[in-house]
Amino acid sequence: MVPRNQNTEFIDLFDEFYRDYYRNEIGELAQNYPDEQKSLIIDWENLYQFDPDLAEDYRNKPDQLQEYAEEALRLFELPVDVRLGQAHVRIENLPETTAVGEIRADHRGQLISIPGTVRSVSPVVSYTTDAAFECQRCGTLTRMPQTITTGDFSVSEPVQCHGCEREGPYRVNLDQSEMEDRQLVRLEAASTDNARESPDSIVLVTANDTVGDVQPGDTVLANGVLKVVSPSEDSHFDATISDKYVSLLSYEHVEPENLISLSRDDEDTIVDLSEADDIYDRFIESVAPHAPISDEIKLGVVLQLFGGVEKSLEDGTILPGTINTGIVTDPGTFVDDVVRYAARLNPKSIRVDGTNTSQVGLTTAAYRSSNDSKNWALDAGALVLADGGLAAITRIDELKSGARAGLESAMREQEVLASKGTATRALPADASVLASARPKYGRFDQYESVGEQLNLEPHLISQFDLLFIQTDQPDADGDAEVASNILDASVAGEVLTQARQADDSPYTDEEVEEITSEVEPKIDPDLFRKYVAYAKRSCFPTLTEDAKVALRDFFVELRSQGLEEDAPVPVPLRKLESLVKLAEASARVRLSDTVEEEDADRVIGLLRSSMEDIGIDPETGELDDEVTRRGLSEEARERLEDIRGIVHEIEKEYDEGAPVDVVVEEAEKIGMKPSKVEHEIEKLKQQGEVYEPRTDHLRTT
């Protein structure tokens, strides 16, 4: 028997597949074609069920199979008198994904599915796929099909006119040419360090009805065929961006948490873990385990990663579930490590540093002119890229005031405006912001009010659900513990490196295991991220009556005190929303469908500690540091008086003035720490109360 023509065989197979699986969908397409619908979307899983070999062929030889699939669609017997002449087949739901950073030349010609965030989109252009060049000398039309595989929109001219055989000049006759819409899209890995020069990204070339399907910040699976061009083959292609690009077949819009694939084993592990009695401690200890930062701050970060539930109200209002946390810190603490580490634990995240980020880079989506960056039109700032994910921003105090205002407005509105000339367009920017900042003078002055040293505009501060202060004050007991922890982490790192690198490590494998396990995260970052993704996908807790009562009572109490006439900081109604979001996040940590009283208590405790940090006494609603500052300055004044008195007594006994060490010694006798005495002496000198006639000797004025 003569084998049937292979083309016909494939076309018949697709025809059978359509009849079994897509009869209704094709009928619908025929009714809507071409104005409302131009493509048939097919699910790869269905194709695999129908014929595993055919489905595998589609992944390995997509260009060819696409042609057969589309030919079969054109030939499909329709109930209505419509011709699906230009209809396309768009395949989706591939069995595996390929990260942007893992795309290799080996994937050339294959159908791959790439998870990522849309970073930029070009303007939509009408691209001439088959250009008719009219010779200006003799009027002959020379047709020139344009290769679909170029990375920009340039059109190649014929070498010579078919009529007069000269090199033009030509005019493109648009009536005789075939055109289609085209758009370039740059896709970036879902977790990105924006501070890096060139984050992993890939260019998508889209055509026809996929054009305009995405905007910057969208989280998608991009399904398409990998093409490789050599720069010489197409000089217009920007070889520094990449010599690879993807000819796009379809987009699937997904929530960031769906970018993480979870196996059945993963799910079992997660559910088991959620039942552990010490689940909160385990998560707290797994946030940057090497960083000696308070459990309150780490709990805040954990709750932020899990997030509250986004709530749609009947009137169409959407209350976002995103939680924002700010940490104002002395230099030299490990706060920035925690901020950066948190980015690793979220399914979608952007890392940004305020010292090298402009307003454009942070909060706006900028239209660029075609000169400075080829055809890119709309380029997303970090908060747009972080839509639905986490924006981890270190040093927001370093942002220019315009960028800070932009940050505040994006956090408030969950969107940013992109403008070009007089036209503006809103892009979603519902990012959960975790930010660190330095205090006003670079370091907290313990003798001044914390509130006055925050160095952030009140409007910006009010966008944070949680605001913590991390000081770096010497404290003998605490320091000993922290120092041991830091040293343990270093030793573990050294032992591990030695065991791996040196030939004669004195440690056995068991010893290495034991030493390193002391500082290992209780939950490794990969599992942490999967757990968060699982919780966000499957857990939407609701408040129980007990939790509601606990939150209400705490809030009413706080408000009533805040309403008193001389209360310096009224507690805004929004704080109640913060409490609810945090309590929902707390329930999600143990995958609970209900928010219990224990969740309410946990977040009330956290909010109290956060408020105490910035100096609001939760008992009185008063700005604590007003009181503290008065108290402190009185106390401080007394202390200064005492020390001045000591200097005055001692200087009588010495010709060269009172030696500093003797003054310190005397002050210790009345219970002052040497470091504090030195600090006070500096103050006295600044105030002109004492001076230094020679080094380390003091005299009163």
Residues lying near Zn ion in the complex (CB under 5 A) are found at 135, 137-138, 140, 161, 163-164
Q: How near is the Cβ of 193 to Zn ion at its closest, in Å?
A: 55
Rounded to whole angstroms, what are the CA distances from 619 to 326, 553, 613, 623, 683?
23, 13, 14, 10, 34
Nearer to Zn ion, 118 or 161 (CB): 161
Q: How near is the Cβ of 139 to Zn ion at its closest, in Å?
A: 7
Nearer to Zn ion, 86 or 140 (CB): 140
- What is the token pair recorded at 474? 């010497």
3-state secondary structure (DSSP) of residue 142:
strand
Nearer to Zn ion, 171 or 574 (CB): 171
Question: 362, 382 in Cβ contact below 8 A?
Answer: yes
Rounded to whole angstroms, what are the CA distances from 366 to 187, 206, 216, 402, 453?
16, 21, 10, 15, 33
Q: How near is the Cβ of 159 to Zn ion at its closest, in Å?
A: 12
Nearer to Zn ion, 34 or 163 (CB): 163
Q: How near is the Cβ of 133 to Zn ion at its closest, in Å?
A: 9
Nearer to Zn ion, 138 or 627 (CB): 138
Nearer to Zn ion, 140 or 498 (CB): 140
- Helices 624-651 & 660-669, crossing angle to 10 degrees? 120
- What is the token pair recorded at 511? 């010893």
Nearer to Zn ion, 163 or 525 (CB): 163
Q: Which residue is nearest to Zn ion (CB)?
A: 135
CB-side neighbour CA atoms (13 Å) of 602: 23
Strand order in the sheet with 390-394: 191-193, 349-353, 390-394, 432-437, 325-329, 466-470
Nearer to Zn ion, 123 or 158 (CB): 158
- What is the token pair recorded at 55? 């489905």
Q: How near is the Cβ of 130 to Zn ion at its closest, in Å?
A: 19
Nearer to Zn ion, 140 or 471 (CB): 140
- What is the token pair recorded at 235? 């000089």
Nearer to Zn ion, 133 or 531 (CB): 133
Q: How near is the Cβ of 386 to Zn ion at its closest, in Å?
A: 56
3-state secondary structure (DSSP) of residue 253:
strand
Spell out the residues 6+ positions from residue 351 whose beta carbon is closer than 8 angstroms to its own.
Answer: 192, 193, 194, 195, 340, 343, 392, 393, 394
Q: How near is the Cβ of 173 to Zn ion at its closest, in Å?
A: 13
SS (H, E, C) 362-378: HHCCEECCCCCCCCCCE
Nearer to Zn ion, 160 or 355 (CB): 160
Q: How near is the Cβ of 171 to Zn ion at its closest, in Å?
A: 11
Phi, psi (deg, nearest 5) at residue 199? -60, 155
Q: How near is the Cβ of 131 to Zn ion at its closest, in Å?
A: 15
Q: Which residues of 78-116 are buried (b: 16+ CB within 10 A; e: fewer)?
A: beeeeebeebbbbbbbbeebbebeebeeebeeebbbbbb
Q: How near is the Cβ of 163 to Zn ion at its closest, in Å?
A: 4
Nearer to Zn ion, 164 or 174 (CB): 164
With residue 128 as reference, give the H or E element that holds it: strand 125-135
Question: 622, 616 in Cβ contact below 8 A?
Answer: yes
- What is the token pair recorded at 471? 């000081």
Q: How near is the Cβ of 41 to Zn ion at its closest, in Å?
A: 45
Q: How near is the Cβ of 160 to Zn ion at its closest, in Å?
A: 8
Q: How near is the Cβ of 179 to Zn ion at its closest, in Å?
A: 23
Query: Facing residues of 145 across strands?
Result: 130
289 cis-preceded (ω within 30 degrees of 0): no
For residue 81, the 8-state DSSP code is S
Q: How near is the Cβ of 170 to Zn ion at its closest, in Å?
A: 8
Q: Which residues of 642-669 are buried (b: 16+ CB within 10 A; e: fewer)?
A: bbbebbeebbeeeeebbbbebbbebbee
Please give the biggest Cα pair distance in the chain: 123
Nearer to Zn ion, 161 or 543 (CB): 161
**Ramachandran class of 100: left when φ > 0, alpha when ψ lies in -120 to 50, beta otherwise:** alpha
Nearer to Zn ion, 134 or 188 (CB): 134
Question: 408, 459 in Cβ contact below 8 A?
Answer: yes
Give the CA-trace dihedral at 672, 675, 681, 684, to 10 degrees: -80
